[in-house]
Chain A
Amino acid sequence: MNETITKSDFPPTPSVACIPPPATVVKGSRVDLLRLFRPVEWLVRRRWFQFAVVFPNLVLFSLFLMAGVFGTPVGNRNVIIVFVWILWWFLLISLLVPFASRVWCMACPFPFFGEWIQRRALVRARSFDPRAKKDGPGVAIGRNRYFGKNLRWPKSLTNIWIQNIGFLALCTFSALFLTRPIVTVAVLGSLFLIATVLHMIYRQRAFCSYVCPVSGFLSLFSMASTLEVRPRDTGVCATCKEKACLAGSEKGWGCPWLLYPSKLERNNYCGLCMECVKTCTHDNMTVKLRPFCSDTTLKGYDEAWKAFIMLALAGAYSILYQGPWGSFKDWANIAEKGNWPGFLAYAGALWSLSLLLIPGIYALAVQLGRALARHRPAGSDQTPAPAFKEVFLAFVYPLVPLGLLAWVTFSLPLLLVNGSYILMVLSDPFGWGWNLFGTAKIPWTPLVPQWGPYLQVPLLLTGLYYALKTGRAQAQRLFGDRSSALKAFAPVAAVLTSCVVFFLWLYVG
């Protein structure tokens, strides 16, 4: 820069909001929830809010780990199996993700110790004046100070491929950890340890953004969620000089998810930690209610493959865990059956279905659609068709609502059939013969399993509806005229419909 900048050129950073917030609660298709529910706004602005949300989960997590090590080896009598793989999973996929985006990440105990080490604080925010001559402890990132190495995540890995492969690898061995407490301890304990170590080495929530297998599918399905964290008025952000949401302030940390909240367009990587809501000096960040499937852009092949993996797993798990084919269960149950050829066949089928077969079929459908759309009558718009990648990513998006509803459909019978175990382990979490709440001796009681298909079919059809609706909208956006759009989308629509027909056949015969 050619001009000399002196200290007096910079006004003091305002510590209170200097621009009055807009009073609007409803704006377009968005409802400002923090304006609507003032007590909630008060709550999320407290520095102790996140600790208050995470702490109970930390208590539960330590209890679960203990139960997984010292409790009974019988899965359905051990709290770690029942609460994690039945209750938590069902709540996550059926309620939290569709209606509250990545709110689980707000409460997740995995990054607790790593973030404590990184920030050397559980509640307060460490900020500093970068104009001060004397440097302070730790590494400065924006206006906050962090401890540890604070290295940048390798650029080649700034995607979710690690999460994709990690999740697929875990799911290949799901028959083990879904039923054996100690294996669940090994998995969750390892993730906890990896999170802590990575927090000491890399910046902010690198583990959550790039490694955590749960984060992978949360990032995809949160696109369909009805909740988002966005600025109230982007005009305020445009004139903002502090950029506290990014750089932090004395009121809060800069976004730990390595995002720029004021510019955010998608839910994918926002963990709803509320730091931006706290730290924004203009009171301009908020939580909004929005329509289902509002984020419609996939940004890379890694996200597309995540959609394929989740769809494939929904199908595979339905066959494996809820189907009548005992041979497949035996193949997957490698620890007890020891049938290695069977296991390798199952694993091979799972991986090729997820990574090759479904993507391959999808790619063919997309290409066929593009070819059909290219044939336009003379005199009509002859603009070249969009590039393959653009169309491919746009048409993979419908797998988000479809995959989400497929997983909800799969998870529903888990709760209906196994839900009574929750009451049992509530009273006897370790399987040691306790009876804390008098429910330990409740017999296993499936909850209206005969209603299952009547609940599953509408869910699947809802998924198909949103898949077709969003797919058609994508086609219209890319191809312009209605005829080309329909032609382009038709093969993909056929694939989507076939998927749903397959699931319907699985569940209702």
Chain B
Amino acid sequence: MNKRERILERAAVLLTLATLIGVPVTVFSYQRHRVAREAAGAQVIELYATGQAGVWTQESLRAWDSFFRHPEKRAIRIKAGVPVLFRLTSVDVHHSFSIPQLRVPPQDVTPGRWTEIRLEPQEPGSYTVLCYTVCGAKHAFMDAELQFF
């Protein structure tokens, strides 16, 4: 192998290894940086809406686990006195997110897309999230409790 071939071969190997490591690192880093930039100091609450289970859940429902996970209804605990950024998505059908007690009007939550809702700092207390779009058999039971502490 002459020098030129050696350089080419090493460059190819390095490029390949850089890809295998670089692609995941870049993707996840960019996501973290982007969310932090969007939050601008607010606390980020990510909620996944699932019509099949009829819940708003903080459990991350990704492509690899959304079909076998059965999220349960749990209270969503949020720090009071700090701005909140809700990031909402649906993993199946259309939903609509609203917190009537806080005058948050219904906002579409579309499958595969993210809806962001900013909330000003709140006093400690408990509020209810409701779904305003018929999303399935469990639509009537699709609520969530926000606990500001």
A and B touch in the complex (CB under 8 A): yes
Binding site for B on A (CB under 8 A): 47-48, 51, 55, 58-59, 62-63, 66-74, 76-78, 116, 121-124, 180-182, 185, 335, 428, 430-434, 440-441
A55 to B22, CA, bound (A): 14
A73–B91 CB distance below 8 A:
yes
Stretch among B58-66, B121-129, B132-140, B141-149 lining the A interface: B58-66
B9–A124 CB distance below 8 A:
yes
Cβ-closest chain A residue relative to B7: A123
B23–A59 CB distance below 8 A:
yes
A66 to B28, CA, bound (A): 10
**A69-B63, A71-B62 known; A62 vs B112 contact (CB < 8 Å):** no
With a cutoff of 8 Å between Cβ atoms, the chain B residues found around residue A122 in the complex are 9, 12-13, 16
**A123-B5, A124-B1 known; A433 vs B114 contact (CB < 8 Å):** yes
**A66-B23, A66-B27, A434-B34 known; A72 vs B112 contact (CB < 8 Å):** yes
Q: Select one of A74, A123, A433 contacting B91, CB under 8 A.
A: A74
With a cutoff of 8 Å between Cβ atoms, the chain A residues found around residue B66 in the complex are 73
Can you give 9 contacting A-B residue pairs, CB < 8 Å? A51-B12, A62-B23, A73-B63, A123-B8, A124-B1, A124-B8, A431-B112, A433-B116, A434-B34
A71–B63 CB distance below 8 A:
yes
B19–A58 CB distance below 8 A:
yes
Convert B1-31 into 0s and 1s, putting 1 for each residue whose CB lies closer than 8 angstroms to a CB of A: 1000100110011011001100110010011
Residue B71, interface by CB 8 Å: no
A62 to B16, CA, bound (A): 11
Binding site for A on B (CB under 8 A): 1, 5, 8-9, 12-13, 15-16, 19-20, 23-24, 27, 30-31, 34, 61-64, 66-67, 87, 89-92, 111-114, 116
B20–A67 CB distance below 8 A:
no
B67–A180 CB distance below 8 A:
yes
B16–A74 CB distance below 8 A:
no
Q: Select one of B15, B64, B112 contacting A74, CB under 8 A.
A: B112
A72-B112, A73-B66 known, 13 other contacts, Cβ within 8 Å: A47-B8, A48-B12, A55-B12, A63-B23, A66-B23, A73-B61, A74-B91, A74-B112, A124-B9, A181-B63, A430-B31, A433-B114, A434-B31
Q: Select one of A68, A72, A432 contacting B31, CB under 8 A.
A: A432
A97 to B67, CA, bound (A): 36
A182 to B66, CA, bound (A): 10
B113–A182 CB distance below 8 A:
no
With a cutoff of 8 Å between Cβ atoms, the chain B residues found around residue A181 in the complex are 63
A76 to B90, CA, bound (A): 13
Q: Select one of B15, B16, B34, B63 contacting A72, CB under 8 A.
A: B63
B65 to chain A, nearest CB (A): 8
Closest 4 CB pairs of A and B: A77-B112, A433-B114, A74-B112, A122-B12
Q: Select one of B16, B24, B87 contacting A55, CB under 8 A.
A: B16
B138 to chain A, nearest CB (A): 16
Cβ-closest chain A residue relative to B93: A74
Q: Which of B16, B66, B90 has the most CB of A within 10 A?
A: B16
With a cutoff of 8 Å between Cβ atoms, the chain B residues found around residue A70 in the complex are 62-64
A55 to B11, CA, bound (A): 12
Q: Select one of B5, B19, B112 contacting A124, CB under 8 A.
A: B5
With a cutoff of 8 Å between Cβ atoms, the chain A residues found around residue B15 in the complex are 55
A47 to B6, CA, bound (A): 12
With a cutoff of 8 Å between Cβ atoms, the chain B residues found around residue A73 in the complex are 61-63, 66-67, 91
Q: Which of B9, B13, B63, B112 has the most CB of A within 10 A?
A: B63
A10 to B57, CA, bound (A): 76
A59–B19 CB distance below 8 A:
yes
Cβ-closest chain B residue relative to A76: B112
Q: Select one of A59, A63, A121, A440 contacting B9, CB under 8 A.
A: A121
B60 to chain A, nearest CB (A): 9
**A66-B27, A432-B31 known; A72 vs B8 contact (CB < 8 Å):** no
A183 to B12, CA, bound (A): 31
B42 to chain A, nearest CB (A): 15
B34–A68 CB distance below 8 A:
no
Cβ-closest chain B residue relative to A429: B27
A39 to B24, CA, bound (A): 35
B15 to chain A, nearest CB (A): 6
Cβ-closest chain B residue relative to A432: B31
With a cutoff of 8 Å between Cβ atoms, the chain B residues found around residue A180 in the complex are 63, 67
B5–A72 CB distance below 8 A:
no
**A77-B111, A431-B112 known; A68 vs B8 contact (CB < 8 Å):** no
Cβ-closest chain A residue relative to B1: A124
**A58-B19, A66-B23, A430-B27 known; A78 vs B63 contact (CB < 8 Å):** yes
Q: Select one of B16, B61, B64 contacting A69, CB under 8 A.
A: B64
B8–A55 CB distance below 8 A:
no
Q: Which of A55, A69, A71, A432 has the most CB of B within 10 A?
A: A432
Cβ-closest chain B residue relative to A112: B16
**A48-B8, A122-B9, A432-B114 known; A72 vs B67 contact (CB < 8 Å):** no
A66–B16 CB distance below 8 A:
no
A72–B64 CB distance below 8 A:
no
With a cutoff of 8 Å between Cβ atoms, the chain B residues found around residue A116 in the complex are 16
A90 to chain B, nearest CB (A): 21
With a cutoff of 8 Å between Cβ atoms, the chain A residues found around residue B62 in the complex are 69-73
Cβ-closest chain B residue relative to A58: B19
With a cutoff of 8 Å between Cβ atoms, the chain A residues found around residue B1 in the complex are 124
With a cutoff of 8 Å between Cβ atoms, the chain B residues found around residue A55 in the complex are 12, 15-16, 19
A78–B112 CB distance below 8 A:
yes
Cβ-closest chain A residue relative to B87: A433
A335 to B52, CA, bound (A): 14
With a cutoff of 8 Å between Cβ atoms, the chain A residues found around residue B67 in the complex are 73, 180, 182, 335
Cβ-closest chain B residue relative to A425: B112
With a cutoff of 8 Å between Cβ atoms, the chain A residues found around residue B111 in the complex are 72, 74, 77
Q: Select one of A47, A62, A71, A433 contacting B113, CB under 8 A.
A: A433
With a cutoff of 8 Å between Cβ atoms, the chain B residues found around residue A185 in the complex are 63-64
